[in-house]
Amino acid sequence: MMKKILAVTGCPTGIAHTYMAEESLKSAAKKAQVDIKVETNGAGGIDNAITDADLTDAIGVIIAADKDVNVDRFNGMAVIEVPVKDGIHKANALIEQILAGKVPIRQGNQSPAANTIDSLHVKQSIGRQIYKHLMSGVSNMLPFVVAGGVLIALSFLWGIYSADPQNAQYNAFAALLMKIGGQAFGIMVPVFTAFIASSIAGRPGMVAGFVGGLIANVTGAGFLGGIIAGFAAGYLMLYVKKLLDHLPRQFEGLKSIFIMPLIGVFVIGAGMFLLGEPIAAINNGMKSWLSSLQTANPILLGIVIGAMCSFDFGGPVNKAAYVTGTMLLGEGNFFFMAGVSAACIVPPFVIAFSTTLFRGKAFSEDERAAGIVNYVLGATHITEGAIPFAAKDPIRVIPIMMLSSAIAAVLTFLVEIQVPAPHGGFLVLPLVNKPLMWVGCIFIGALVGAILLGFSRIHQNRKLSVIAR
């Protein structure tokens, strides 16, 4: 009977990394001649879910995820937990590790090898847990940001004041779009906070976290307050649950429905009302600094934003820039999002242009086919399309991408382009104040990167051919 491995993949957005890790793991398992079942936790939910029957005959589990994917069901099994990028880049090594039996048993039944983990590894695992909780908040918040932001932006098609009944531009349908979009967009901080807390402590954490996020909105503490409230709510609920564990079983309903929510909502609510104003002052200071940098030094701001967006292609550094853009977008600053969006759109176009311009000279047939797909990915703001190329040669490709995105962002800030939607790529061009100039800024950055990437690949191929001789 063929050995069977189980795997779970999931990334914050659930769009690209999730399925790329799935394909890499399947390919590695095929090479190793083992059976594998991969559960994907994508934007549309869980696909190919692992069942109880699957657990009975599996020799090990690979969790390649940057979000909460319910790993408790694998207690007592050999489990490897790694970031989703390792599922893409290190699939062969992960499969080999499972087959070699060098994997600790999850939770209470640790193997002797697992007890020798050094302090550095422990620190990394704590940092990784914090990152996973944060990304759980981001991934659940993004649909609200995108849906709400795009609806608000669409209302501007009838005029910037089309939702104001007192203005000559007023349009009833535009006002409806603004109201719906405003509600969806306005709830993004509570949703963000609730899912951070839920990732840590489950439903009790979600309740306290959501209320903490609502108060962060009311006090102006924003995302910074949301992060603090989310982690505070999650870890507070874990502590309260531990304190109440000694209660008799007949009090379980009272504990989960009454005692824990009451304590969580009061403590986190009171704490956020006390901390709200100081955090709001820090938030406002950051916003003012970014806004001033936008006008005083757009070149520096563009370089920083461009480099961040192309550093990890949808990873935490990219998301930090994106979330900052959405925060400022909510404040009515459309300039910042123009630079962020341009920087995120550039990497797939670098691949698309380079594989078209250099075709057989630098790229294989498979790479050229992937290049065509990147035209669509770039046009729809999906940065992750560049990952397969960056993964093959990160030392050369990532700096080229960072430079290209920085050029596009700098040009966007210099010509003062405004993008009122947080996502959508070229689909939101009717909403951009200077649509052709924005596309031009993006294409200039992408062309520079495409030429550099093409020449780099030609040089690399020549070196390889000389070595082969």
309 is catalytic: no
β-pairing verdict for 4-10 and 58-65:
parallel
Tell me how many degrees the CA angle 42-45-46 measures, rounded to the nearest 5.
85
CA atoms within 13 A on the CB side of 82: 21
Closest-CA residue to 205 (of 168, 172, 171, 230)? 230
Residue type, position 343, single letter: A
Tell me the HSE value of 130 on the side-chain side, using a 13 A CA sphere. Answer: 10
Q: Do residues 419 and 428 lie in contact, with contact meaning Cβ atoms separated by under 8 Å?
A: yes
Residue 371 zone, left/alpha/beta (φ > 0; ψ -120 to 50; rest)? alpha
* Amino acid in position 291: S
Among 16, 142, 141, 31, smallest CA distance to 85 is for 16
Element (H, E) at 59: strand 58-65
Burial class, 104, CB count within 10 angstroms (exposed 0-12 / middle 13-18 / buried 19+)? middle
Catalytic-labelled residue, pool 11, 309, 344, 441: 11
Asked if 221 and 245 count as a contact pair (C-beta separation under 8 A), the reply is: no
Helices 316-330, 119-155: axis angle to 10 degrees equals 40
Structure tokens at 278: 């100081």
Nearest to 313 by CA among 17, 82, 14: 17
**In sequence order, which residues have a C-beta less than 8 Å from that of residue 124 and are 6 or more positions away?**
none
Q: Which helix (H) or strand (E) holds 335?
A: helix 334-357
Residues with catalytic function: 11
